[in-house]
Structure 1
Amino acid sequence: MGLSRYGRRLVAHGAGYGLALLAVTSCTAAPPSGAAPPKSQQSQASPTASPSPPKPASSSGPAVPVGAARPTVADGPVLASVRNSMKSLPSHEMPSDEFVAVIRRDAPGAGELLWMKDDRTYCSAIVREGLARIECGSLPENWPRKGVLKVTTGEPYQDKPGEQPSLFVFLAVVEGEHGPYDYKGEAPEAAGSVRDAVVTFASGRKLGLISYEKHSRRIPETEICGADGAVCFPAYYPNR
């Protein structure tokens, strides 16, 4: 999931990692003793000039996983890997398991997770062999395809350090419940299986979460569609 205008990718290996934040503050010389502070400082001290409180998260959140998307005991290793990585991210909090959706379950210690504190804000995690790649951001306000809210650019994974990546993992978020999802027509060569999950909000709104892979740098021309055909999107071209 590459760095985009809607999300920030954060990568952690096993024991954790650090995120440095730089704060920029203005510097002004102190006024002479007994002198009145500048008008700008007087207005800042006025109760009427206090900043507005931050807007609360949507009342429709957090998202609740539906059916098979609910975590089980077998998902413990993947959840633990992500929670360990999140310790170094104080600005992003992982909720309790009941609010984390499991999109894909692979070998022990591998899979994809996603959670949303409201119907606009998400965090997704892809776990492979103890490496958790986490992206947090906001869903875009519009998208070229009807019903499609987010399609990632594909996260590369290397089998061995220094080698060209042979696995690319994609995630998509769509409006409504239209699964199960699959490739339109015959699956392209070197494409992995498509998995999907559903989350719901207190408002009744539902979102579909989709995970799929490709095992080649080649970009095949194919679409992924829901079972009812209401939502389709190019699998490997996120901006179409």
Structure 2
Amino acid sequence: MLANGETTIEELHLKVDPDTSIGEYEPDSYYLTVTPDDLAEPGPELDWETLRDAVENPEDGGYWNDTLEIHESRVGEDVLKASHRPAARILSGLARSQAYENGVVPRETIDDLVDTYCLHLTNRVADAEQERGKEHIRETYTDLITDQLYENPSPTADSYYCSTDTLQTRLQTELDTAQSVAERADMSPTSTPGNRLTPTTTMRPTSCARSGSVISPAGSPISLAQSTPDVRTLLNSVVVTTKSTTPMKV
């Protein structure tokens, strides 16, 4: 229509902002807005800014919680930056996406994630110091990831639970089984039918595993050393503590 002279630019009311640079409209200046469901599904790699914002706390506009998962296809091997909190949360999201169906993440999975996504973060330049730098990265980021998860209380397991819900479910199952065996073995004469051992959110798995005892329904400890071998084997994987004022990590 402009070519035919029927309409002028003025009639189209086109406006130009002289303070706006053309570069501000380049596609590279945008990053993808994603939802938690998007993060958990396969898709294109996301840049650092998008991932960092996604793992912010909800009050800061992010999605971070115990259930947030990030599919491995969403994170490039060199995308993480040396910013501990967001990097640890992104790695934890990756770990959750690779957990078993029961919500358990093996230690080997965490080790593989650190090797895959973190070794480029070393600031060691000299070849002779590269290996030392990698070991420092492994130690640092392994601790950062496990601080976001929940240690498996079993003394024979080297793994972590994704959330407090999955840990509570596992502990309650173990406690119910242990109480049933203890009652059949008449190990707790003060117990009465209907009493139920109940884990609370103030459990401390690591210290419990070393204590060597559980708490009976009546509140008195049952020593594993006084148990029969079969019962002792079962109870050795059960962890209960008295109420503590120290909460589990969140």
Q: Which of the two has higher C-alpha Rg?
A: 2
Say whether the fold is shared (TM-score over 0.5): no
Larger proportion of strand: 1
Q: With CA pairs under 8 Å and 6+ residues apart, which has the higher RCO, 1 or 2?
A: 1
Larger proportion of helix: 2
TM-score normalized by structure 1?
0.25
